[in-house]
Amino acid sequence: MNPTTILLLYLALAGLDLLWGVFLAYLNWRSVRSAGGKVPPELARSVSKEEAAKAGEYSMARLRFGLLEAPLTTLPTLAVAALGLFGLLDAGLGGIVSGWGFSGLHDFVRAALFFVVIALASGLISLPFSLWSTFGIEKRFGFNTSTIRTWLFDGLKGALISALIGLPLLALLMAFMDATGGLWWLWAAAIFSLVNIALSIIFPLLIAPLFNKFTPLPAGTLADRIGELAARLGFRMRGIFVMDGSKRSRHSNAYFTGLGAVKRVVLFDTLISSMGEDEILAVLAHEIGHEKRRHVLKMTAVSILLAFVGFWVLSILMGWGELYAAFGFAERTKEAIMLIFALVSGPATFFLGPLFSAWSRRHEYEADAFAARAAGKEAMASALLRLNKENASNLWPHPLYAFWNYSHPTLRQRLAAIGKVEG
Ligand SMILES: [Zn+2]
């Protein structure tokens, strides 16, 4: 294939990916608009008119935002790729770094600068959208509690952490490509899978505390009941923590984090203030259900498998000269092929999205059923309704949008399924 054909093929696929996403979001927006904020009949007894009206307006605002954000952040990337500017950047950096004279580190410094420049540029493009989302939409609907200062420090800390983790990994990957011959991708995939697991262990201990305060749940009936529930379900954990989620937003959540011995339960303070004890226990039982049904293990196994496939594909693409030329790279550098891989992998696999969504929804149904048995159907149903209300989630998603994008079944589907669970 000649370089022009490859580039056109990439642009066509990426364009299709973008258009399809925008089309689905538009369908979804229309579905919400035509519902006009009316409570769906099945939910007549559990959702108030005011809740439904707020959910309708909030969902439409978020969807309108997405309809603008997706093209405005994607099109610049496509333009830069089409004009061959990525290749020009790499060549320019190659020239600059040669003048600095670190011979052994030349390739790494060049690649690192290449990715830092791209990360900064893409950060700049998404900056106004993040500001608008947080201080426009979220604020208007009364969700945002974040200050500009918190928002700014979040961004800086996030960038610093990405660099501290990403740059050593880049050096490691480049070293493996040089040192381990044709099978470098096997080594790289193995090391990256280990790093992934290590990160999920250190995340709750070292990284999450940089963004939020975690305080042990004070002794009392809630802590006692959570302890009883965990013991009854044979779930071992290291502590229950309350996170100051209200520092940034009124949205609420609960999750488990960590692996093995460092597994901890995290409850948002917003969840504790908005839910009753029975509901909180149901939410936790749902999370324990994910663990007990081995969903976390399966997800980890799949991500390891994907790492092997991904690095193998990368190793094949490395030898394809026309591919570099298609994106404007005159030299076959390692950073060139990594970037091309990153650009192409999304558009080349976007049609697999629904497969992962469907798999994730199946897990959610299983965890809901587990929780309904462990903590009661009513508590689980009422927890879902409460979460939906607190987050003003869409009550009228378009079926095709939900099928394609939703990692969780819709509220109505979940309530119906919980109703059918047998004790
Ligand atoms: Zn879940």
Which residue has tokens 């042990």? 216
- pTM above the 0.85 mark? yes
| Per-residue pLDDT at 262 exceeds 70 | no
Mean predicted confidence (pLDDT) in 138-154: 93
Q: Which of 138, 287, 364, 390 is catalytic?
A: 287
pLDDT score, position 30: 97
Q: Is 264 helix (H, G, I), strand (E, B) or coil?
A: strand
* CA–CA dist 50, 416 (Å, integer): 23
pLDDT in tens, 321-365: 999 999 999 999 999 999 999 999 999 999 999 999 999 999 999
Mean predicted confidence (pLDDT) in 364-379: 96
* 175's tokens: 């070293």
Which one-letter amino acid corresponds to residue 77?
T
Which one-letter amino acid corresponds to residue 323?
L
| Per-residue pLDDT at 384 exceeds 90 | yes
CA of 189 to the centre of ligand 1 (A): 28
Mean predicted confidence (pLDDT) in 275-302: 92
CA of 287 to the centre of ligand 1 (A): 6
Mean predicted confidence (pLDDT) in 149-173: 94
The CA-to-CA distance between both ends of the chain, in Å, stands at 60
What share of the chain in percent tops pLDDT 70? Answer: 99
pLDDT band with cut points at 50, 70 and 90 for residue 188? very high
How far apart, in Å, are the Cα atoms of 357 and each of 25, 320, 350, 363, 404? 16, 33, 12, 10, 7
State the average pLDDT for the chain. Answer: 93
* CA–CA dist 319, 315 (Å, integer): 7
CA 383 to chain centre: 23
CA of 415 to the centre of ligand 1 (A): 14
- Residue 269 known to be catalytic: no
CA of 7 to the centre of ligand 1 (A): 40
Q: Is 47 helix (H, G, I), strand (E, B) or coil?
A: coil
pLDDT in tens, 221-260: 999 999 999 999 988 888 889 999 999 988 888 887 777 6
What share of the chain in percent tops pLDDT 90? Answer: 83
Q: Decide: 106 and 39 in contact? Cβ < 8 Å.
A: no
CA of 406 to the centre of ligand 1 (A): 12
Pairing of strands 214-216, 254-257: unpaired
* CA–CA dist 95, 87 (Å, integer): 13
| Per-residue pLDDT at 201 exceeds 90 | no
Mean predicted confidence (pLDDT) in 383-392: 93
Q: Decide: 208 and 257 in contact? Cβ < 8 Å.
A: yes
CA of 376 to the centre of ligand 1 (A): 16
Query: Taking the C-alpha atoms of 369, 371, 372 and 377 in order, what is their torsion angle to the nearest 10 degrees?
Result: -140
* CA–CA dist 243, 290 (Å, integer): 21
* CA–CA dist 31, 6 (Å, integer): 37
CA of 388 to the centre of ligand 1 (A): 14
CA of 399 to the centre of ligand 1 (A): 20
pLDDT score, position 261: 63
Mean predicted confidence (pLDDT) in 289-304: 90
Lowest average pLDDT, out of 113-122, 179-188, 254-263, 294-303, goes to: 254-263
Partners of 264 in the β-ladder = 257
pLDDT band with cut points at 50, 70 and 90 for residue 422? confident
pLDDT in tens, 60-110: 999 999 999 999 999 999 999 999 999 999 999 999 998 887 777 889 999
- Residue 364 known to be catalytic: no
Q: Which of 51, 279, 368, 390 is catalytic?
A: 368
* CA–CA dist 378, 369 (Å, integer): 12
Mean predicted confidence (pLDDT) in 197-203: 87
pLDDT score, position 180: 83
